[in-house]
Amino acid sequence: MAVNRNFRTCPSTGLVYHEPAEKLMKWNAVAGVVFLLLGGVLALLVTLTRWPAVHLLPADWFYLVLTAHGIDMLIFWIIFFEIAVLYFAASTLLKCRLATPRIAWAAFWMMIVGAVMNNVAVFKGDSSVMFTSYVPMGAHWAFYLGLIIFAVGALLACFVFLGTLAVGKAEKTYNGSIPLVTFGATTACIIAIFTIASGAIILIPTFLWSVGLVDHIDSLMYKTVWWAFGHSSQQINVSAHVSVWYAIAAIVFGAKPLSERVSRGAFLLYIFFLQLASAHHLLTDPGLTSNWKIFNTSYAMYLAVLASMVHGLTVPGAIEVAQREKGYTRGLFEWLRKAPWGNPIFSGMFISLIGFGFLGGISGVMMGTEQLNLLIHNTIYVPGHFHATVVIGTTLAFMSLTYFLIPTLFRRELMFPKMAAWQPYLFGLGMSVFALFMMGAGTLGVPRRHWDITFAGNALAHEFPGAAFLMMGLTGIAGVAAVVGGGMYIAIAVGSIFFGKRLDVPAARRVAVRDGMAPPPEPAPAIPTGHGTPAAWGLIAPGTFALAMVFLVSFVLYYFVNWKYLSTVWPLS
């Protein structure tokens, strides 16, 4: 079989697209957006049901829709888009051909088949088992089989990514080390492989159980292994969207990492320590010792937290340095005030970073603390937290990247540019308010995945405080705003891709291996010493440092407020 070596160079960005890789990126991204649309409609139904004054759906429909919403968003939307990002980070950034496009297509179709099969099982109504699908509650076998087929497809795509790295190395399409963004994507890929392996270990026996070949699955064993898959699958997202932050900082500002060593080191910490954090889903379960819980959630997890805190500084820090070099040097924050706030690529990315850190990061650490977890385990605080991490963090970062990809990858002009400028604000801020009030309601004890917190008709009804109902109402309003923001994204993305004005498409040109090679490396320059000129306090990014301190103070205060709250609860041992 002849190897396709057709490439085209994007005239506006200079990025190089390999023909089959380009097609695969497009299809994976579009498939992701289709699932985002489906998940978004379901999100509206979930929100309107949990808004107590509306309470739209009947109970059976609510649990069905919530199951489908969780899986379509957390798995199908995000992983399809991530595969597109992986191909971009490997093939485009390394300017090399994609390894084995046929296998990449097989992966794509397996993922489609799996996703459709899983959705059919859920919508048929006998698989409303939620994203976690805890045994012994059982779903239709097609539910598990769909997930397994999807996972195998995603695994194949990961290998195509790694293969592409090998091709780039072998054909010498770049000099020296891979770019930081590709490095981050590699982290995501490695975590993904671990994750999918755990998923297989737990889902395959569960599938066999669902068809009657295995007669018992221990609920604690299931939950332990399941979370090695479930939480890690969300940590692929962290690596992926942090890479996207770096990419956008580079694209919009030409920002270079403060130091490659620190940023790459932080990604490595993710590989070493993120997975263990899965243990924080088991903090209130019987049969696991405190030592196990503390080791897994703290010793290791805080090094992963450290990694996120490092990225939270280095990404805006790189932007600050780049802006200061352009002359925005007055005061601590001129660089930030003069940032292109009307450009959705930047505004979305920045809101994503702030929301992920302040709302998602702080609440996540609080929940992952062994004793504090008692206060909010399985309350609506938990979805409050993960909407901040996964939706504001990952989804919004991916949305911002789309605004960049539409002109360069799809070669279409962005439709509704005014609406695009507003979209990250409506979506990001709507989602922030949504997450915040969910956390508030969770602190008052409102359970997650619960159809009726009024317990209407129940003789033993519990009355939640009025503030809880107020906060659930505000959650509903903010949720609707966020759904509208999501709808705007879909309208812009789908509109532009299918009906946007075509930009000149440069023809793909055949490139011989020899021509595609990077020029011979220049002699290694002396070890760099400088980072630019210090701007204040002897720091090159004093504004970012000040923001980081604001973050730290919020974190410390919130953390100890929760310990204080815990100390008033019934003694327990």
Partner 1 sequence: MSAIEPPRNRLWWKQPLDRTEGLWILIAFVWCMVMFFMMPYWHIYGKQNLANEAYRTTPEAFQKKTDEMVAKHKVREETDLKIPVVHPPAGSDVYLIARLWQWWPMLELEAGKTYRLHLMSMDWLHGFSLQPENINIQVHPGYEHILTVTPTAPGKYSIVCNEYCGINHHTMVSRLYVVK
Residues from 298 through 327 that contact partner 1 (CB under 8 A): 298-299, 302-303, 305-306, 309-310, 313-314, 317-318
CB closer to partner 1 out of 111 and 129: 129
Q: How far apart are CA 549 and CA 555, in angstroms?
A: 10
Instruction: Copy the structure tokens of residue 554.
Output: 């919020």
DSSP-assigned beta bridge partners for residue 539: 536
Residues 168-187, interacting with partner 1 (CB under 8 A): 174-181
Q: Taken in order 279, 285, 288, 290, is the CA torsion positive or negative?
A: positive
| CB 484, min distance to partner 1, A | 28
Rounded to 5°, angle at Cα 483 from 479 and 486:
140
Backbone angles phi, psi at 447, to 5 degrees: -75, 155
Residue 280's CB: how many other CB atoms inside 10 A? 22
- Does position 540 bind partner 1 by CB under 8 A? yes
Residues 458-487, interacting with partner 1 (CB under 8 A): 458-462, 464-465
**CB 280 within 8 Å of CB 367:** yes
Nearest residue to 84 via CA among 180, 173, 157: 157
Q: Residues 26-65: x/- map of binding to partner 1 (CB under 8 A)?
A: ---------------------------------xx--x--
Judged by CB under 8 A, which of 12, 284, 329, 533 binds partner 1?
A: 284
- Does position 70 bind partner 1 by CB under 8 A? no
CB closer to partner 1 out of 292 and 498: 292
| CB 426, min distance to partner 1, A | 28
Q: Which stretch binds partner 1 (CB under 8 A): 39-47, 126-134, 392-400, 497-505?
A: 126-134
Q: How far apart are CA 395 and CA 388, in angstroms?
A: 10
Judged by CB under 8 A, which of 1, 213, 512, 524 binds partner 1?
A: 524
- Does position 415 bind partner 1 by CB under 8 A? no
Q: Which stretch binds partner 1 (CB under 8 A): 130-138, 197-205, 323-331, 487-495?
A: 130-138
HEC assignment per residue over 444-480: CCCECCCCCCCCCCCCCCCCCCHHHHHHHHHHHHHHH
- Does position 331 bind partner 1 by CB under 8 A? no
| CB 430, min distance to partner 1, A | 26
- Does position 520 bind partner 1 by CB under 8 A? no
Residues 219-248, interacting with partner 1 (CB under 8 A): 219-220, 223, 246-247
Judged by CB under 8 A, which of 371, 429, 495, 513 binds partner 1?
A: 371
Say how many CA atoms lie within 13 Å of 147 toward its Cβ: 33
Say how many CA atoms lie within 13 Å of 538 toward its Cβ: 0
CB closer to partner 1 out of 66 and 104: 66
> What's the chain's Rg over C-alpha atoms?
24
- Does position 416 bind partner 1 by CB under 8 A? no
